[in-house]
Amino acid sequence: MKHERERGNVLLCVLLTITVVSAIGATVLFNCAVRLNVSCGQVRGWKEALTAAEAGGDIAFAEVRKTILSPSQAWNGWTNSGGVYTNSPATFGQDSLTTSSRVDSFYTDPTTGNAWYRIRTKGTAPFLGLRRVGMDDRMSVGTRGDTLLRKIDFNYDHFVATYGPNGDGAGKALVAVSNPQFTRRIELIAAPVTPFDAAVKCTTSFLGPGSAGVIDSYNSNNGPYYFCANNPSDPHYSDSRSGSVAVATPNFAQFNGTIYGNVSTNGGTVTPSSHIQGIIDNNVPFTIPRFVMPTDLPIPQSSPTNGNGNVSINPPGAGTATNPTTYLLSSISGTLTINQVGSSQTYVAIHVTGNITGKITVKAGVHARVYFDGNIDVKARDIDNLSGLAANLQFYGISPTDPSATQQIDIAPPGNFAATFYAPSADYHMNGNPDITGSIVCRTYYGNGNTSWHYDRALEKEGDAVDYRITNYVEDIR
C-alpha cells in the first residue's frame, strides 16, 4: 500500500508539473505569436505603407518637373478639378502596395510668376498578420499603448472617418476597407529652381576673364555696383565676393583676370592661386536641362511682328509677372524700344523666332523677358537697360530641337549693360572692354581683354523656373 501511495503521489506531481509547464509554454507561445505578429506583420506593413506613400511622392514630383522640362507631357492621365490634380491609385510590388496623390499649386511668386506645388500622397499596405492589435494596448495615466500608434484599419478607414478625405474635417464618412490595411500620408513642397545662382555657369568650358578684367559681385538692393572686393572694411564687402564660376566639365582656364568667388569643375585640375579668391572644388557634377519655350504665356499681340526698323512696343496694360503682355517677332535688326505704361511697373515677354542683331532699349519701369530661337550678335551698347537692374532684362535661349546644334551669343565693344542670359545651348563670346552686371548660364564662355562680369546677388530668386526641388517633407501622423 505504501508503494502504491508513493506511485500515486509521483503521478500526481508529474501531472501537475506537466500542467504548469504546459501553461508556461502556452503563455510563452501566445506572447511569441503576438510579438511575431507585430514584428513580422505590423512593422513590415507599417514601413511598406510609408514606402508606398514616398513612391507616390516620386510619381507626383516627376509630373511637377514636367511642367518645366516637358510641358506637353505634364499631367497626362491625371484629373484636374479646380486646379487640383489627382491620379488613380497605382498598385505595385509583390505585396500589392497602393499609392495615390493630390497636387495643387498653392502659391505663385508675385515677382517671378513661378508656381510652388504641394504634393500630398497616400500609401497603403495590406495587413498580412493575425487580426490583432499591437503588443501592448494597455491604457494608464500619461501613457498610451502602442496599438493606438499603429493605426491599423481593420474594417474602416479611420482617417476618413475622423478627419475627412482631405484631412480638413469636411466629408467625414465611414468608408469600409476590403481587407485590413495600414495607410500613411506624407506632404511634400516642390519649390521652383531659378537659374541665376552664379555669375557664370556653363556646361562645356570656361575661358576668362581677361587679364585686365574681373568677375565679382554686388547686391543691387544696396545700390549701384562699385568695386569693393579688396576692401574688407567696406560695408558691402560681404556681397562682393560671390562672383562664382561653375563648369560641368574639367574644362576651366583663365586669362589671369581675378575671380572674386568660388570655382567649381567636374573633374578639373584647378589649383589655388591669387587669381581665385574663393573656394576651389574640382568634384561638383551638375546638369543643366535644355530650355524649351514656356507654354503658359498669353496670346501674343497682333503687332508689331518684327523689330527690323525703329519699332516701339507700347503695351495696352501694365501686366504682371504671371500675365505679361506678349509679342511674337520674327527678328530684331533695327531699334526696338519697350515703353512703360504710365508710372506702373510693366511686364513684357517677347519671343523672337530669328536672330537679334539690333538694339533693344528697355525703359526703367519695364520688366522684359526675351526668348530667342536664333543667335545674338550685338555691341554691348545695343543692350540698353535703363533701369540698370539685370533682373529687368532677361534673355532666354530656346534650345535647338537638334541636340547637337548650338546657338551663338556674341557681344562686341563698346558699351556696358545689365542683363541676364539663360542659354544652355549657346556659346557665349565677349571681348574688348564691356562691363556687365548680371548672370549667365551657357554652353561655353569666352571673355578676353578687359571684359568684366559683376554678379548681382539679388538674382538668386529671379528668373523663369528651370526645374523643381523638394524643400519640405512631413508625415501626417493622424
pLDDT digits (tens, 9 = 90+) for 414-461: 999 999 999 999 999 998 889 999 999 999 999 988 899 999 999 998
What is the predicted pLDDT for the residue at 136? 52
d(CA 120, CA 235): 45
All residue ranges of the chain with pLDDT < 70 are 1-8, 26, 28-41, 129-150
What is the predicted pLDDT for the residue at 347? 97
Cβ neighbours of 466 (radius 10 Å)? 21
Which sign does the torsion angle of CA 441, 442, 447, 450 carry? Answer: negative
What is the predicted pLDDT for the residue at 148? 47
Domain-wise residue ranges, the chain: 2-193+469-476, 200-467
What is the rounded radius of gyration, in angstroms, for the C-alpha atoms of the chain?
A: 33
Q: Which of 447, 437, 376, 372 is nearest to 409 (CA)?
A: 376
Cβ neighbours of 24 (radius 10 Å)? 10
Is residue 461 a contact partner of residue 329, using CB atoms and an 8 Å limit?
A: no
What is the predicted pLDDT for the residue at 5? 58
What is the predicted pLDDT for the residue at 165? 87
d(CA 364, CA 396): 20
What is the predicted pLDDT for the residue at 239? 97
Instruction: Please write the tens of the pLDDT for every residue from 390-421.
Output: 999 999 999 999 988 999 999 999 999 999 99
What is the predicted pLDDT for the residue at 139? 46
Q: Which helix (H) or strand (E) holds 64?
A: helix 43-69
Pairing, β 79-81 against β 84-86: antiparallel
d(CA 61, CA 75): 11
Q: What is the pTM of this model?
A: 0.79
Average per-residue pLDDT for the chain: 90
What is the predicted pLDDT for the residue at 230? 95
Q: Which helix (H) or strand (E) holds 17?
A: helix 2-36
183 forms bridges with which residues in the sheet? 124
d(CA 228, CA 15): 96
| Location of C-alpha cell 516637358 | 70
